[in-house]
Amino acid sequence: MQAAPAARTHSTPQPGHALVDADLNDCLHTYEQRVRGRFAAVLDVLRTLSSCQHERDFAAQAQTLALQKLGFELPTDWLANAWVAGVDMAALHAHCLFQTVAQSVQQAGFDQSCWRARMPIGPQQWRDWGYHTLDFSPCADGRLQALLPFILRTTPAPHVWVKAYAGALFDVEHDVADWTQRELERLTGAIEGGAQLDYLKVAVYHYSSSAPCEQGCAAHGSLDEQAVQAAIERLVALQMAVDNTFGLGAAPQVLLIGVDTDCDAIRIHLPDASGQIHRTRFLDSATLYRSSFGMPAAAAQQAVQQALQRHVTELGGLAAKGNEAGLLALVQAWLIANFSQIEYVNRHHAGRYAVIGHDEAFVCAGEAVPLLHLRNQFYFAHLDTVEEGAADLDVGARIFQGLNVQRGLALPVLVHFTYNARVPGARERAVQRGLRVAQAIRARFSDLAERGLLHCRVAVSERQAGSVLEWAEHAVSAAAH
Ligand SMILES: [Zn+2]
C-alpha cells in the first residue's frame, strides 16, 4: 500500500486529513488552472473580437490578439470579410475550442508532469494487486471526465481504458471483444507476468447529494436507484457473456463505483461471495474521510482497512477470483486516494462545486482524448458509429441546447479516433471512420447544422504516442456546411 506523504506544504492554510497528499493537490490545481485558463481565454478573445469586427484593420488586430492570448492564429479567410456581414462567431468559437484542445494535448507532457509523478495508483501498483487492464465505463457526463487523475488518483496509462456511455450503459459486445483481445495477449505471453493477472471492469455511475432529483444522471432521469441498478445489470451481462462464451470462471473481475458529482466523493460496491453487487451496500469515502479525520496517518490507514474488512464480513465474503487481498488493496487505495480529492474540493471549491450541473465546453465523440482530464470540460460519448452512439449523442445535444445553442453558440463536436501506427493503413481507416461519423452527426442534427449551430471536426491520434491531435480536414466555417 502506498503511504501518503505526511509532509504538508506551506500553502495549506489548515491541517487536513493525515492521508491527504497536499503536494499532489497543488500539482492538480496548477494543472486545472492552466488548462481552464486556456479555455477561458477563448471566450475573452471572442468577446473582444465581437466588439471590433467592423474596424478597418480588424483582421490584423484579431490575429495579433489570437496569437498573444491563445497562442494560435485564426483562419484568415474567416476574418477578411468580417466588415461585410460580421464574423461567424459560432464557427470561430468552435474553431478556437478545438485548437485549444489540440494545444492542451500537445502540452500535456509539461502540464501533467507534476501530478503524473505523484499519482499514488500507477501501473506497478495495479499489477502488484493482480490486474493487467483497468477498463472503466463512466457515464458520458462531463462531470466524470476527471475520473482518473482527480477522483481516483490513478495514472492514465495505455491499459487503463475509459469508455464513457450515457448512463454508464456500456456496450457488452464491445467489452467482450476488448476482453478477448487482452485475454489473447495474456495467453500468448504478450502481457508480462500475465498468468497471475486479471482484467478489471469498473462501471461508474453518478449522483448529486445536494440536488438528487435535478442534477443526477440525465440518462436515467436523475433517478439514482435506476442509475445504479442499470450499471449493475450491465456488469452482470458482461460476466455472463464471457462465461457463456469462454467457459465458467473466465469472466473478468467487476466492480461498481458511484461518484457524488457535487464533491467528487466515491462509493465502492464490492461483489459479495456469490458475485452479486448490491445497490444499497457500499463503502463511502466521505464517511471514511470524516471518521478518520484527525487521526495520525497509520491509525487512519488502519481504520480504513478495518472498515473494509467489516464490510466484507457483512457481505459474507468477496467474489475476487482468488485475489481477495489484491482487490481489497486496490479498493482501499482508491478510497484513501479519494480523500485527497475530497480535500481538493473542500479547499478549492468550498466543499461543493459552484456549478453542480452541466457546464461542458464541447462534445467528444468516438474515443477519449487520452491527454485531457478536467471535470465538466467536455461530454464524452464512446462510439464507433453514430447509430450505436445515437442515444449518447442525443443526451449530449440536449445538454448543449441549454448550454450553448440558446445563447447563439454552436454545438461543438470533436470526433476523435486513435490508430495503431504498427498496423498498415490504420491511420487512414481511423480518418475515414471519423469523417463518416462526422457526416452522420451532421445528418442526425441537421436542424442545428443548417442554422450554422453545429461544428464538427475530426481528429486522430496515434494510440501509444498520442501526443498530437492530427486534423483530418481543414476547418470550415458554417457557411460551408
Ligand atoms: Zn449520467
Give pLDDT, residue 13: 53
In this prediction, the residues of the chain whose per-residue pLDDT falls under 50 are 1-12, 477-481
* Range 298-323 burial, b when 16+ CB lie within 10 A, else e: eebbeebbebbeebbeebeebbbbeb
Domain-embedded: residue 264? yes
Phi and psi at 267, nearest 5°, equal -120, 135
In 10 A of CB 171, how many CB atoms?
19
Sheet with 283-284: strands ordered across:
160-162, 131-138, 198-207, 253-260, 265-269, 283-284
Gap from CA of 166 to ligand 1 centroid (Å): 6
Looking at the domain assignment, is residue 357 inside a domain? no
Please report the pLDDT score of residue 475 as a whole number.
56
Q: Is there a contact between 153 and 335 (Cβ–Cβ < 8 Å)?
A: no
The candidate with the shortest Cα–Cα distance to 166, out of 211, 210, 204, is: 204
User: Ligand 1 mean position to 70 CA, how many Å?
Assistant: 32
Residue 91 is assigned to a structural domain of this protein? no
Q: Which of 148, 58, 203, 167 is nearest to 369 (CA)?
A: 148
Q: List the strands of the sheet with 411-419, edge to edge.
A: 378-382, 362-366, 411-419, 454-462, 470-471
Residue 149 covered by a domain: yes
Residue 263 to residue 356: CA distance in whole angstroms: 9
Q: How many domains does the chain have?
A: 1
* C-alpha grid cell, residue 86: 460580421
Q: Is residue 402 part of a domain?
A: no
pTM for this structure? 0.90
Q: Ligand 1 center to residue 224 CA distance, Å?
A: 10
Instruction: Domain of residue 291: give its range.
Output: 118-349
The per-residue pLDDT for 400 is: 82
- Domain membership of residue 79 (yes or no) is no
Catalytic residue positions?
A: 141
Q: Does residue 333 lie within any of the structural domains?
A: yes
What is the predicted pLDDT for the residue at 14? 64
Summarize pLDDT for 376-420 with one digit per residue, the tens.
Answer: 888 888 888 888 788 888 888 888 888 877 777 888 999 999 999
Q: What is the pLDDT of residue 474?
A: 66
Give whole-number Cα distances, 362 to 37, 106, 356, 401, 449, in Å: 16, 18, 17, 12, 15
Instruction: Give 207 Cα–ligand 1 centroid separation in angstroms.
Output: 8
- Per-residue pLDDT at 383: 86
Short-list 211, 216, 93, CA closest to 143: 216
Q: Using an 8 Å Cβ cutoff, are 275 and 255 in contact?
A: no
Looking at residue 84, its pLDDT comes to 77
| Domain membership flag for residue 270 | yes
Query: Smallest Cα–Cα separation from 129: which of 189, 202, 197, 195?
Result: 197
> Distance between CA 132 and CA 185 in Å, rounded?
11
- For the stretch 234-238, contacts whose Cβ atoms lie closer than 8 Å and that sit 24 or more positions apart, written own/partner, are 234/137, 234/168, 234/169, 234/170, 234/172, 234/203, 235/201, 235/203, 235/277, 236/277, 237/172, 238/170, 238/172, 238/175, 238/176, 238/179, 238/201
Cα of 226 to ligand 1 centre, how many Å?
11
Predicted local distance difference test score (pLDDT) of residue 248: 92
Distance 209 CA to ligand 1 centre (A): 14
pLDDT value for 479: 38
What pLDDT, on a 0 to 100 scale, did the predictor assign at position 8?
A: 44
Residue 4 confidence (pLDDT):
43
Q: How far is the CA of 141 from the centre of ligand 1 (A)?
A: 5
Q: What is the pLDDT, as a whole number, of residue 2?
A: 42
Output the pLDDT for position 344. Answer: 97
> Whole-angstrom Cα distance, residue 81 to residue 59?
9
